Amino acid sequence: MAAPISILKNSEGARVETVIAAQVEGGFHIHQSPEHQTPLFQLLQPVTDASHKRDLKQSPPNSACLPGTRKTVIKSITSWASSSVLIKRRHVLWLYGYAGCGKSAIAQEVCKRVHGGSRLLGSFFFYRNAGDRSSMGRLPNTLANQMATTIPETGSFIKDAIEAAPDLLGREADSGPGLSLTARIQGLVYDPFRAVVERRVFAKWSLSTPYLIVIDGLDECEDKEDVKAFLNCTLEFFEQNPQIPLRVLITSRIEQHIQPRLHVDGVLLKNLADHCSNNDIAAFMNIVFQDAIKGDPIILAYIRENGAWPSPPDLHKLVEHIGGSFIFASTLVDFIFSPTSPNDHSTPMDRLPLALNINPGLDALYSQTLSRSVGLPHFSNIISTLTLLAEPLPVIGIAELLELRVYEVVRVLLDLQAIIQVPGTDDGPVTFCHTSLRDFLSSESRSGRFFVPPSFHSRLYTDCLRCELRARQATPRVELLQRQPTAAVHYSLKYREARHWNPSKPFFGVAGLGKIVQMQREMLELHPDRAIVLSHLGTALYTLAEQDRSRSDHVEGAISTYREALALRTSTPPHPARFPLLTNLGFALTMLFERTGNAAHLEEAISMYREALDLRPPPSLDRPISLGNLAGAIDIQFKYTRNLPHLEEVISLHREALDLRPYPHPDRHLSLNNLGAALYIRYEKTQSIEDIDETISLMRECLGYLPAFSIHRQGALTNLSVFLRSLYEKKRSLDDLEEAITYSRELVAEYYPIGHEDHKQALVELGIQLQLHFEATGNQDDLDEITQLWGEVEEGI
């Protein structure tokens, strides 16, 4: 008899983690005033520090091409950008390459040159952990605003679109459902541009020289699904409008969510590694050395006595050592011309030979630089904070958040300026010179003792909560954002729940969560909006109940807290926060049912999910998730009642969710798995061939969405393997059985190796399938493998 297998692997349902109850005070809000009476800039609220005209020192990347460098690749790109779409049909160019090879500097230079010819429609330089510049949310608004400046005629079309659909402006996460990124980029940028160029007079001369949009650092955007949506929307727009006078330059590293969408016929590919020459590095180093020598009397004195410095052979060695990496060249320059510490009395001439011995891999450089400060007090907390912040804080903000003195933060950062950009004032943002430093610090295998663990999010969450609590104790029951809060308080209000809560939950522990609950209770007496704090308190109590299963009072506290918050969120039309509160109350009631067995709790949970679903009519983006929550609760009810109408409703709900996630929706595989699992349960009850056939079809499609590295593939393989064995037992088709064996082998090899707690169970399932295959074919190899498998199983008993 088969070992028990979990059928609902990776299904959505009552355990969907939505911290959608987290409401963030402040942020970007849409004011519904008559759009045609409001200036376009005020309507769009673009990101003002994202274009090529931003202050590079304040808003990295601080990258620019020095005169005489990168000439070939820049000429190639500007030639493509300015060529007629009647001649060169590929509208999109993807410039890709490794970290630090100069992509942003080239994008900056291309913008400058095209802007000079009044053909730059817009530019957006993404930068990780830089607030709105690390997400797609404000990209449509920003490009639309820039486009209206370049082509004023588009302004009226943009305003008309906003008047017809105000949600084109975007909405905060806690403000209810909004339009998709595809609809927004189409409505605010592509459609208005097309409307203008379709005017005949305009079109005649615009065809010869297209406009250009530059998107730099697409890999720096944290919204991977929205990145895919943007690329799909852009490519589809050009497929439908092959002669539109517009080109899009995209720069990024090669990332899994980007490469498949840009490595297509309609995109011109350019690998920057093919254009990183030593000549460019030599020109860069010559300019840097000449500038440094002019202002340094010590170097000038050395040259008068010893001749040229650096000598041509040394400069040649340095260029060869750099190997085409501009980020490595920049960091070596900082190393040569900046003392390692106040007690370092060496000269640039002394440090040049040392630079030639530094490993050209940036990891070694990062380790060497960080080691200068590692022994200082608070080093780890300061570096960890810089790594995990959602957007940069100034020195004074870091100090306030960590409850340190400003000089303690400055002391740590002082010797790290080769890799961390420290402003000259306490109120300028502290930023990494290159985002590869964040990648380095986030990888334990690379950074070793400098590793920043994800658990530090819990420290940041607690620090943010304390920071806000101190501010509210000083000015109770007032809106802090109206009082011009400090940078640390503003950060805490904006990002505590949105950025740091979810990653923190596994690391708090019962004692840590108890402190969070206590601080949230204190906040209740100080916050002007009691419902917001009740929502956060309920989520903390629910999480505490998940971790401390010995008591029921935590989940009961979460339920009463959510109920009180709901009572404060009754309005017409429904308050935007009512949906997440209903959903989270449903989670808590379901948990209480599982612990007490009281069916009334589950019935109330289902009623909460039904009301939440009513608040998300089609085509709401949240409706598939809400459908999954309701289906999950009714599925639990079916397991207790075995009432077939309950199962029928589960299937119906999953079908609707699947319809709302058409190809290529990124979550379609979840609905496929959910519906397949529910149909299989009905098949076990009714033995309907139609059900098992549809189940297999759905699960095969589901597996097709999940490459080897996907965290969901394991569950899909498990389900499909079991379902195929059931189909074989019904139809006796060897093809089905052999397909099941293939999946079981992958599970044993890739997901349940020796030592895994489920290794034995996976071996048993594979053994059962091989036994069936042997009985059908008499293949001796099957029998030999079965004997070996049972031996392994017995050894593990």
Domains in the chain (CATH in brackets) are 83-100+114-275 (3.40.50), 278-324+326-359 (no CATH), 379-450 (1.10.10)
Of 154, 152, 228, 214, whose CA–CA distance to 190 is shortest? 154
Q: Is the pLDDT of residue 483 over 60?
A: yes
Residue 397 near residue 491 (C-beta atoms within 8 A): yes
Q: What pLDDT band is residue 7 in, cutting at 50, 70 and 90?
A: very low
- CB of 591 closer than 8 Å to CB of 13: no
Q: How far apart are CA 456 and CA 504, in angstroms?
A: 8
Query: What H or E segment, with its residue span, contains residue 122?
Result: strand 120-125
- The residue ranking higher by pLDDT, 450 or 621, is 450
Q: What is the mean pLDDT of residues 223-244?
A: 91
H or E segment to which residue 700 belongs? helix 689-704
Model pTM greater than 0.75?
A: no
Angle at 671 between CA 535 and CA 725, to 5 degrees: 130
Between 327 and 538, the higher pLDDT residue: 538
Question: Mean pLDDT over residues 50-65, rounded?
Answer: 84
Backbone angles phi, psi at 248, to 5 degrees: -130, 120
The pLDDT value recorded for residue 727 is 94
Q: Which residue has the tokens 């999953």?
A: 654
pLDDT digits (tens, 9 = 90+) for 167-224: 899 865 444 457 889 999 999 999 999 999 887 455 555 556 799 999 999 989 988 8
SS3 content of the chain, % helix, strand, coil (to 5): 65, 5, 30
Least confident of 17-26, 340-349, 765-774: 17-26
pLDDT on residue 599? 97
Contact (Cβ atoms closer than 8 angstroms) between residue 658 and residue 699:
no
CB 772 within 8 A of CB 733: no
Cα separation, 13 vs 268, in Å, equals 43
| pLDDT tens profile 90-103 | 899 999 876 667 88
What's the pLDDT at 17?
A: 31
Q: Where are the beta strands (DSSP E) in 7-57?
A: none
Q: Which residues contact 87 (CB under 8 A, 6 or more apart)?
A: none
The two structure tokens encoding residue 132 = 């709105």
Q: If you search the block for the tokens 């070694």, which residue do you land on?
A: 364
The amino acid at residue 107 is: A
| Candidate from 332-341, 380-389, 616-625 with smallest mean pLDDT | 332-341
Is residue 393 pLDDT above 50, yes or no? Answer: yes
- pLDDT (0 to 100) of residue 88: 64
Helix (H, G, I), strand (E, B) or coil at 420: strand
Tokens of 348: 């640039």
pLDDT in tens, 617-647: 988 889 999 999 999 999 999 999 999 999 9
DSSP string, 249-262: EEEE---TTTHHHH
C-beta of residue 601 within 8 angstroms of C-beta of residue 640: no
- Whether the Cβ atoms of residue 500 and residue 540 lie closer than 8 Å to each other: no
Neighbours of 520 (CB within 10 A): 22
Q: Rounded distance, CA 290 to CA 299, Å?
A: 11
Q: Rounded mean pLDDT of the chain?
A: 88
Q: Give the mean model confidence (pLDDT) for residues 455-466.
A: 98
Task: Give the three-state DSSP class for 214.
Answer: strand
Look up residue 38 and give its two tokens: 């409001």
**pLDDT(21) > 50:** no
Per-residue tokens: 228: 């895919």
- For residue 336 the two structure tokens come to 């040569």
> In the beta sheet, which residues pair with residue 271?
96
Higher pLDDT, 6 or 584: 584
C-alpha 15/C-alpha 632 separation (Å) is 8
Percentage of the chain exceeding pLDDT 70: 91
Segment among 250-254, 341-345, 396-400, 551-555 with least mean pLDDT = 341-345
pLDDT at 465: 98
